[in-house]
Amino acid sequence: EAQVTQNPRYLITVTGKKLTVTCSQNMNHEYMSWYRQDPGLGLRQIYYSMNVEVTDKGDVPEGYKVSRKEKRNFPLILESPSPNQTSLYFCASRGGGLYEQYFGPGTRLTVT
Amino acid sequence: GQQLNQSPQSMFIQEGEDVSMNCTSSSIFNTWLWYKQDPGEGPVLLIALYKAGELTSNGRLTAQFGITRKDSFLNISASIPSDVGIYFCAGQLPPGNTGKLIFGQGTTLQVKP
């Protein structure tokens, strides 16, 4: 089954404790992205990647890092999480030449 | 950054009614996408539009890519309770095939049986 998976689905952590949210897709897609969703603000892009070792900032990249060492994986790293990063996070992927993005199930992060 | 203005923000309608929502921007877009998000789930693609003036249907859903390339609308006919959710528009800016999509703020739809 074609899908985008994220782990963990739920995470509660404390300020300053480094964390990684994993994202994996099995569709051999070139493009992958991370979004955060906050009430009233819709989906805002954090980072995106056009292929292995090619990443770029989205609209709200501050406080986040990403890496794309393999085509299927695109982890999101919060080196020093803060409470304003409490949000619902989505990973997405799409194939080259098409704009239809497929989203993962989401990771709800709470930073206290 | 770039913004899409999506309206209305929320709708509460009776089952069987038709629904219309739209997105506008001051920028030109290459592509318009419409997504639906159910509670606790990720957004699911409903319709993709690639050409100005294009009108595309998916069951009871119809979407159009505006002639000016700065707007798009989504219509849902004969709404049913499972249409409940948040609907998002998203646009791809020119010039090219990058990974960047801009999303609207979403329209929350509630359907009364």
Contact A43 B48 (CB under 8 A): no
Q: Which residue has the tokens 């319709």?
A: B47
**Interface membership of B40 toward A (CB under 8 Å):** yes
pLDDT for A69 beyond 60: yes
Q: What is the average pLDDT across B54-76? A: 96
Give the one of B1, B90, B99 whose C-beta lies nearest to A31's C-beta: B99
pLDDT at B47 over 90: yes
Among all residues of chain B, which has the CA nearest to that of A57?
B100
Give B12-43 pLDDT, tens digit per residue.
Answer: 999 999 999 999 998 888 889 999 999 888 99
pLDDT digits (tens, 9 = 90+) for B74-106: 999 999 999 999 999 998 877 655 657 788 999
Q: Tell me, yes or no, if B97 comes closer than 8 A to chain A by beta carbon.
A: yes
The residue with greater pLDDT, A6 or A96, is A6
Give strand ranges (E) for chain A.
Answer: 4-7, 10-13, 19-25, 31-38, 42-51, 54-57, 65-66, 76-78, 87-94, 102-103, 107-111
Query: Which chain A residue is nearest to residue B43, measuring alpha carbons?
Result: A103
pLDDT at site A59: 87
